Amino acid sequence: MAEKRPSTTLLWLTIVAAPGALGLETGLRLLLFPDDFQLIREFLNPMLTPVAWGFAVVAGLGAALGLVIQRRLIEKRIAKLPAEHSTRERRFQIAFGVFLLTTAIPQIPSIFSTFCFTFGASIVPVIVSITLTSVGVVGQALRVPKLAD
């Protein structure tokens, strides 16, 4: 029985998760929140912008950490495969599964920075966080085929 490769759609959804969350947040906030909410956002801006910067730093560190952990987890899981099950397809499935897991490391703080923006933080640290996250996630995605070999 031939093994099936994971969907490239899932790969792309993972890559665009953080920027998509910002777009979704902005759309929902503009559509559903009352106009007076902008006053709350302005009031909370000085308090939440440093928090958003903290999440940006954590997202950057998470992007680097995700790359390190990705390699180690893939190597460990492939090493545990019995020789008769160590096909290229199976190794790729393992690498892809680890990719889905380790991309959460930078994405979670990036999503939290987006929450900070919802309640008034500056967009700048959120964009920095999303950029760092996206670089880390794309870096992990590009390594999947190589780490599966």
Is the CA virtual torsion 114, 119, 123, 128 positive or negative?
A: negative
> Phi/psi class of residue 81: alpha, beta or left (left: φ > 0; alpha: ψ in -120 to 50)?
beta
> Above 80 in pLDDT, residue 105?
yes
Question: What's the mean pLDDT in 49-70?
Answer: 97
Q: Quote the CA–CA distance of 117 and 109 in Å, as a whole number.
A: 13
Tell me what percent of the residues of the chain surpass a pLDDT of 70.
Answer: 95
Q: CA 26, 108, 142: angle at the middle one, nearest 5?
A: 100
Average pLDDT score over residue span 139-148: 92
Give the pLDDT of residue 6: 63
| Mean pLDDT along residues 74-91 | 90
- pLDDT, mean over the chain: 92
Q: How confident is the model at residue 144, as a pLDDT? A: 92
Residues 146 and 88 sit within 8 Å (Cβ to Cβ): no
* Nearest Cα residue to 122 out of 47, 60, 57, 58: 47
pLDDT of residue 103: 94
Residue 85 per-residue DSSP state? G
pLDDT of residue 1: 45
